[in-house]
């Protein structure tokens, strides 16, 4: 599962360079330390082989939905079934994206004493979560883009903590995943596998993470 994540880059210019998008994409950028379901973020997709940034809300809502009541149930999509479930199959065929971050949270320990953990790249790089996106109309003449993060079975690092983890793509695989001209989307399921066991490390985080109202670098301090 992936229910909270971070993107703590200090400025939009360096983030744009890392993602290979225009600096104008992040004119209003600010670091985020506790991105939660139903909050605004953004995704990256391909348009004529160029990467573009699309503002989006976390929790996929289908174009045919009458309301967003199921958004909180669609923050994650299982890699094993995305081509079968009505909520995800059209987006899997036509609207694949990546969701940039630099870490995600999980919890361990007994109920009532759950310890938050920040899971992030050992080398401090970006994470490109495999995702899907859709647009729907919350009201006439208004469109909103929403997204989900795809999960898979855990690698050896995450297995003692949780039975699912987000799919993390390399920069090269991200372009293959996002390619809107892919004639055989099912072939892309080869990318939806656990990352190498040594890609990430686990760091204890502050209990402040437990509330989605909290933000700031202090969340990453035990």
CA 165, CA 94: separation in Å to the nearest integer? 23
- Choose, from 74, 80, 97, 106, the residue flagged as catalytic: 106
CA 149, CA 33: separation in Å to the nearest integer? 17
Which pLDDT score, from 0 to 100, does residue 67 have? 86
The count of other CB atoms within 10 Å of the CB of residue 46 is 19
User: Domain 5-220 maps to which CATH number in 2.30.30.60, 3.90.1680.10, 3.40.630.30, 3.40.30.10?
Assistant: 3.90.1680.10
Which pLDDT score, from 0 to 100, does residue 48 have? 84
Residue 7 has pLDDT above 80, yes or no: yes
**Alpha helices per DSSP H over 30-134:** 89-94
Question: Could you tell me the sign of the dihedral formed by the alpha carbons of 78, 79, 81, 87, in that order?
Answer: positive
Residue pair 11/30 in contact (Cβ under 8 Å)? The answer is no
> What's this model's pTM, rounded to 2 decimal places?
0.96
For residue 87, give the 3-state DSSP assignment.
Answer: coil
Q: How confident is the model at residue 165 (pLDDT cuts 50, 70, 90)?
A: very high
Which pLDDT score, from 0 to 100, does residue 1 have? 72
Query: What Rg value do the Cα atoms of the chain yield, rounded?
Result: 17
Question: Mean pLDDT, to the nearest integer, of 112-139?
Answer: 94
CA 115, CA 75: separation in Å to the nearest integer? 22
Question: CA-CA distances (angstroms) from residue 191 to 19, 178, 222?
Answer: 19, 11, 34
Tell me the two tokens of residue 1.
């599962």
CA 171, CA 203: separation in Å to the nearest integer? 24
Residue pair 183/194 in contact (Cβ under 8 Å)? The answer is no
Which pLDDT score, from 0 to 100, does residue 210 have? 94
Candidates 103, 104, 131; CA nearest to 44 is: 131
Question: Mean pLDDT, to the nearest integer, of 193-199?
Answer: 96
97 is annotated as an active-site residue: no
106 is annotated as an active-site residue: yes
Query: For residue range 19-73, what is the model confidence (pLDDT) as tens digits?
Result: 999 988 898 899 999 999 999 999 999 988 899 999 999 999 999 888 888 898 9
Residue 177 has pLDDT above 80, yes or no: yes
Question: Mean pLDDT, to the nearest integer, of 1-8?
Answer: 92
DSSP-assigned beta bridge partners for residue 54: 43
Q: How confident is the model at residue 220 (pLDDT cuts 50, 70, 90)?
A: very high
Which pLDDT score, from 0 to 100, does residue 118 have? 98
Which pLDDT score, from 0 to 100, does residue 80 have? 97
Query: For residue range 78-115, what is the model confidence (pLDDT) as tens digits?
Result: 999 999 999 999 999 999 999 999 999 999 988 878 89
Q: Where are the domains of the chain?
A: 5-220
**Class of residue 42 by CB neighbours under 10 A (exposed 0-12, middle 13-18, buried 19+):** buried
């Amino acid at each position: 599962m992936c229910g909270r994540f971070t993107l703590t880059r200090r400025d939009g210019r360096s983030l744009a360079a890392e993602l290979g998008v225009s600096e104008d994409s992040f004119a209003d950028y600010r670091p985020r330390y506790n991105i939660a379901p139903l909050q605004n973020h953004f995704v990256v997709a391909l348009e004529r082989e160029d990467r573009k940034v699309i503002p989006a809300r976390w929790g996929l809502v289908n174009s045919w939905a009458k309301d967003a009541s199921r958004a909180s149930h669609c923050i994650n999509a299982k890699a094993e079934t995305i081509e079968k479930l009505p909520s995800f199959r059209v987006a899997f065929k036509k609207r694949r994206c990546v969701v940039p971050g630099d870490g995600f949270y999980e919890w361990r320990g007994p109920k009532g004493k759950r310890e938050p953990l920040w899971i992030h790249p050992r080398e401090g790089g970006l994470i490109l979560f495999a995702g899907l996106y859709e647009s729907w109309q919350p009201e006439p003449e208004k469109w909103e883009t929403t997204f989900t993060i795809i999960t898979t079975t855990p690698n050896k690092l995450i297995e003692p903590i949780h039975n699912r983890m987000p799919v993390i793509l390399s920069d090269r695989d991200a372009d293959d995943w996002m390619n809107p001209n892919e004639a055989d989307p099912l072939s892309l399921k080869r990318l939806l596998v656990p990352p190498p066991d040594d890609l990430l490390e686990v760091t204890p985080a502050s209990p402040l993470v437990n509330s989605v109202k909290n933000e700031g670098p202090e969340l990453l301090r035990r």
